[in-house]
Amino acid sequence: MKIEEFIAERLRKEGVKMFFGIPGGPSIPYMEAFRRAGIEFVLTGHEASAAVMADVTARLTGVPGVCHATFGPGAVNLASGVGGALLDRSPVIALTSELPDEWLGRTAQMNIDHQALFRPLTKATFRLSAGNAMEVINRSLELAKEEYPGPVHIGLPSDLAGSEIFHSSSSGETAGGRSEEVSADPEWAPGARPEQVISAPGSWLPDEGKMQVSASVHGRAGVLIASARRPLIAVGLTAMRTGTGQALLKFLEKHRVPVVVTPMAGGVIPSDHPCFAGVLFHALSNRLGRLIKAADLVIGLGYDPVEYNYESWLPEVPLVHFDTRTSDLRIKGAIESVSTPGRWFETLAPLMSSSEMTDLAAEVRKDIINGLNAKTSGFNPFTALSVLREQLPAGTTVTADVGSHLHLLGQMWDVMNGRLIMTNGWSSMGFGLPAAVAAAMVGNGEPVVCITGDGGFMMYAGEIMTARRRGLKLIIVVLSDGELNLIRIKQSWKNVSPYGIKVCSGPLFGAGSFLGAEVMRVTNAEEMHAAIRRSLCSDGCVIIEAAVDPSVYSDLVVRS
């Protein structure tokens, strides 16, 4: 079997149905082999978008996403989106064309060391050969899905296609070139390590053979949990990603304890649940301070510090951190329990309810809601998003770009009636539009809405053409304030006058269409209502340019 045929069949067996990218000459045999195997190639406007689409496809389907780029500049562009898959925890296979072995280390057009490029951005990087192909492809898929999920890079030498695959007796040097696996997981740095409890055996636990279960540590965790009178649970990305929401709700039926969530865990618990207090890091989250300061124990439940480090908000109380793998916590006295999510609640069984804390959580939540609802004067981002939230049907998928509006959206949006897809580990502007394209491609016909700012929109605006080629129906809401508002706010925190943040003056589009998509500019709530109704009836891509007053952001975005 030829190399390209093996890769195509192995990925199809894994469930891959499409891969994203921009082709180069050496990729043609792979595209053909993939096509024959039933894996469709999706041409994107930019390689970084291809990696974002692979990331979001993986999140929504559970199947590793696949993306591709050619030499040098293509690979560098792809790397930006691959970093998102690493820090947002998505299983992705990133393929790049590379020069043949005899050109390694030589000066040549478009030639750089792709392994050096992708090493810090992936769980592992490999260079494929006829001798290591079976090992590399199988290992890459395993690595991509292992906790935490993430991207793996595979370099495809340009003269490799057409070679027949063969077994190698060694995993090191082979006739076809070097196989290199390099972990991107951080090394332990000097400082206070958390005490560790390994409470579930299994090969998926990293460094299992190097760590011992400590009865004294396990006992201390149990004592803290059983003796807490004012506990607080902080739920994070790992809990959301592993589908822990239903188990959490069942637990809260007997253990009434307040819950805060990180932005990417929005929806793990309904926003109207009596135990829900709010979203850390996002708009008005400083009002959670009263609840956080009252706690005598913080329980991190699938809390991934990549979104928001504990040190940024944790009070001086004990921390028990539950996760699916060991972390790099540096919090003195913290206890880390590594197990499958199902075991977390067994350990938490002695936790007592706290009416004092749940009452306080309700007060804090009401305070946040009232603070948001107070921002209704004029046509501002809260007004525009409120109109959007009212009119979108249940089941709508929303993708959110990075910017001031994300802080507002994460705190106010009710995720239980649909999906909210964002990047908060990588936090790259431009994420929203390619994410929406991917969501529409793998969806079941439910409405897909991208919420972005004018700066983020311009970064990957070319993906509108991708959506048009695919015949996708998208609603793109551009909150247009003419500036990079989040940078303006951060400049104000440093007492610096606004500088280098102006995006445009007047309308962003200045026309009724953009790349074939209809554009509707709205300046008030009534026009916003009409534009959304019209967009929901459209069969193609519609852009709503909402010309908003950004001044409310300065009162909502919390200094971090």
CATH code that applies to domain 3-178:
3.40.50.970
Sorting pLDDT into bands at 50, 70 and 90, what band is 195? low
Average pLDDT over residues 53-75: 97
What average pLDDT is seen over the chain? 90
- Model confidence at 389: pLDDT above 80: yes
List the structure tokens of 309: 């480090």
Closest CA to 551 of 409, 390, 378, 417: 378
pLDDT tens readout for residues 342-355: 999 999 999 999 99
Predicted pLDDT of residue 218: 65
For residues 86 and 96, give the distance between their C-alpha atoms in angstroms, rounded to a whole number: 17
Sorting pLDDT into bands at 50, 70 and 90, what band is 377? confident
Query: Of the ranges 69-73, 204-208, 468-472, 524-528, which one carries the lowest mean pLDDT score?
Result: 204-208
List residues bridging with 452 in a β-sheet. 478
Predicted pLDDT of residue 167: 65
* Cβ(238)–Cβ(304) below 8 Å: yes
Average pLDDT over residues 423-433: 97
Average pLDDT over residues 9-27: 97
195-369: CATH class: alpha beta
Q: Where are the domains of the chain?
A: 3-178, 195-369, 375-556
Of the chain, the percentage scoring pLDDT greater than 70 comes to 91
Predicted pLDDT of residue 107: 78
Closest CA to 319 of 187, 423, 228: 228
Query: Of the ranges 182-191, 303-312, 386-395, which one carries the lowest mean pLDDT score?
Result: 182-191
- Model confidence at 168: pLDDT above 70: no
Distance, C-alpha 482 to centroid of its chain:
26
pLDDT tens readout for residues 500-516: 999 999 999 999 999 99
- Model confidence at 217: pLDDT above 90: no
- Model confidence at 193: pLDDT above 80: no
Same fold, 3-178 and 375-556: yes
List residues bridging with 197 in a β-sheet. 337
Predicted pLDDT of residue 50: 98
Domain 375-556, CATH number (from 3.40.50.300, 3.40.50.720, 3.40.50.700, 3.40.50.970): 3.40.50.970
pTM for the predicted model, two decimal places: 0.91
CA-angle at 151, arms to 210 and 418, nearest 5°? 110
